[in-house]
Amino acid sequence: MINRKIVFTLLLLLGSVAGINAQPRQGQLAADIWLPSVSGDTLHLSSLKGKVVLLDFWASWCGPCRTSNKELTKIYPKYKNKGFEILGVSLDDDLSKWKKAITKDKITWLQVNEPGGWQAKTAINWNISAIPTSFLIDKEGRLIAMDLSGKELEKALKYLIDK
C-alpha cells in the first residue's frame, strides 16, 4: 500500500512542475494579444514594440490586484514618458465593474478586457492561473521577468529604459 502523504506530495510536485513549464519563459517573444480597450477599439500588444511593457493581468474583484494598481499608479508616471507602458488585461465579466475599478484606482495606462476569467482565451494562452500576474517585456518584445513589483520593477525599468 502506498503512503497517502507520499502520493499527495508527488501530485503537488508534479502540478508545480507542470505550472512552471506552462508559463511563458524569460527570453521568449511575447505572444501577441489583441483585445478591446475601454473605448472599444482593438488594442494589440505588438503595437507597443519599441517600448518596455508591463503586461498586467488583473480583475476588479481581485483584492491583491487592486492593491497592485495603487503601487503601479506611483511607478507609471515616473517612466511613461521614457518609453514605458503598462497594458492591463482584465478578466472581468462585468464591464461596468471593470470600468468603475479603472476610475476608482485612478488607472491612466492602457486597459483591455476579455471576459471569461480563467477560461478567457488570452488567460489560457498566457497560462494565467492566478492574478495579479505580470510580465515585463523589453523593447524587442521579449519576456524579461515575471511578477516584479516595487523596487524590483523600478530597478528593471531603469536598466531597460537606459539600455
Distance (Å, rounded) from C-alpha 110 to C-alpha 98? 13
Q: Where are the alpha helices (DSSP H) in the chain?
A: 4-22, 63-79, 95-104, 121-125, 150-162
In the chain, the amino acid numbered 73 is: T
pLDDT given at position 10:
39
Closest CA to 106 of 83, 122, 86, 121: 86
Name the one residue in this structure whose C-alpha cell is 471576459. Answer: 115
| C-alpha triplet 73, 102, 44: angle, nearest 5° | 90
Instruction: Give per-residue pLDDT as tens, 90-130.
Output: 999 999 999 999 999 999 999 999 999 999 999 999 999 99
Using CA atoms in the order 163, 35, 134, 62, what is the torsion angle rounded to 10 degrees? 150
Whether the pLDDT of residue 21 is over 60: the answer is: no
Contact 89, 116 (CB under 8 A): no
Distance (Å, rounded) from C-alpha 122 to C-alpha 113? 10
Whether the pLDDT of residue 5 is over 70: the answer is: no
Contact 137, 52 (CB under 8 A): yes
Work out the average pLDDT over 151-163: 92
Beta bridge partners of 84: 52
* Average pLDDT of the chain to the nearest whole number: 88
Residue boundaries of the structural domains of the chain = 25-162
Q: Residue 31: which pLDDT band, with cuts at 50, 70 and 90?
A: very high
pLDDT given at position 26:
87
pLDDT given at position 49:
96
Distance (Å, rounded) from C-alpha 16 to C-alpha 48? 32
CATH topology of domain 25-162: Glutaredoxin (3.40.30)
Report the 10 Å Cβ neighbour count for 46: 13
